[in-house]
Structure 1
Amino acid sequence: MYLFNKIIKILIINGPNLNILKEREYFYSQESFKKFKKKINFYSKNIFDIIFFNSNCEGKIINFIQKNKNANWILINPAAYSHYSLSLLDCLKTFKGIIIEIHITNVYKREFFRSKSLISLRSNIIISGMSLDGYFLSIDYIIKKCL
């Protein structure tokens, strides 16, 4: 069921090591990626067509974006690819929809190299340091924009 006149397709893309959230340093999250996906689906109340994708391989992320270029929104946590992936940036530049870049931690309070994101050059919105709540905030924003 969709609340809007058209189907809104959202890609939620997570880069390397985000599939093992619960196993990583405590400041990432104590929640598993599987549980997080269930919560997002429940939270969005099936009003969007949400497609989740996680990969530790840069090329697979790029192929996924290219294959789903008709989506309306991308919520992406590129993880370590944020800082050096020109190929991911170039791919995102071809995407016609809105891109929200999400970082679970506050990248500005960590190692100096984490504060620079190449992906931000294409992102419309950047959310950093809100833990997994950044994804829920993004869903809220999309609802407001689509009403």
Structure 2
Amino acid sequence: MKRLFILNGPNLNLLGHREPEIYGADTLADVQAACEAAASAGGYEVSFHQSNAEHELIDWIQQARTDAAGIIINPAAYSHTSVAILDALNACPCPVIEVHISNIHRRESFRHHSFISARADAVIAGCGTQGYVFAVNRLISLLAAG
């Protein structure tokens, strides 16, 4: 079966508990279940990961070069700081969709720039955790279009 990598950066393991007024009540397990359902409906399986460590995200991106049809990434705070994650994504030929639960453009000014957006085929922000499902569906559409 074809595989999508869904990668989550720092503090996303605290979804449902951390600042619910910004990030909502869904847990990361809820997000994973929704992504798996959407991917399965499109004929894909999901490899779902979260890490607070930048190097682990980079390792998964490098693994995706051979093991994934596409990547959905919520790099969280690394969006605004990590050239290393951008470099890893630039070395990966598959489509990439960047997701942010909150609208980063309505938050602190340092959050308005994302290094990752320079590589992303699409950016979804401000749609809550539903943005992940939007990303799965968009990624499947991009893959179907070739």
Same fold (TM over 0.5): yes
Give, as a single letter, the amino acid of the residue that structure 1 aligns with 2:99: I
Provide the C-alpha distance between the structure 2 equivalents of 1:51 and 1:8, rounded to a whole number of angstroms: 10
Post-superposition offset of 1:101:
0.4
The size of the alignment, in residue pairs, is 141
Matched, 1:96 2:86: no
Range with greater deviation from structure 2 (101-110 or 63-72): 63-72
- Over the aligned positions, Cα root-mean-square deviation in angstroms equals 1.4
Give, as a single letter, the amino acid of the residue that structure 1 aligns with 2:18: R
Post-superposition offset of 1:63:
1.0
**Unmatched segments (≥5 aa) in structure 2:** none
Deviations 1:2-57 (CA, angstroms, capped at 9, x unpaired): xxxxx432110000000111111122120111122122212333620210010000
**Unmatched segments (≥5 aa) in structure 1:** 1-6
Query: SS of the counterpart of 2:127?
Result: coil
Matched, 1:9 2:8: no
Matches within 5 A, 1:29-108: 29-45=24-40, 47-70=43-66, 71-108=68-105
Q: Percent identity?
A: 35
If you compute each CA radius of gyration, which structure gives the higher value, 1 or 2?
1
Post-superposition offset of 1:143:
3.5
Give, as a single letter, the amino acid of the residue that structure 2 aligns with 1:94: A
Provide the C-alpha distance between the structure 1 equivalents of 2:103 and 2:65, rounded to a whole number of angstroms: 29
Greater fraction helix: 2
Corresponding position of 2:137: 140
Corresponding position of 2:23: 28
Deviations 1:77-111 (CA, angstroms, capped at 9, x unpaired): 00000001011111111010100000000001000
TM-score (norm 2): 0.90
Give, as a single letter, the amino acid of the residue that structure 2 aligns with 1:74: I
Hey, which bits of structure 1, 4+ residues long, moved more than 2 A?
A: 42-46, 142-145
TM-score (norm 1): 0.89
Give, as a single letter, the amino acid of the residue that structure 2 aligns with 1:48: Y
Alpha-carbon distance change, 72 to 45 in structure 1, aligned in 2, over 3 angstroms: closer
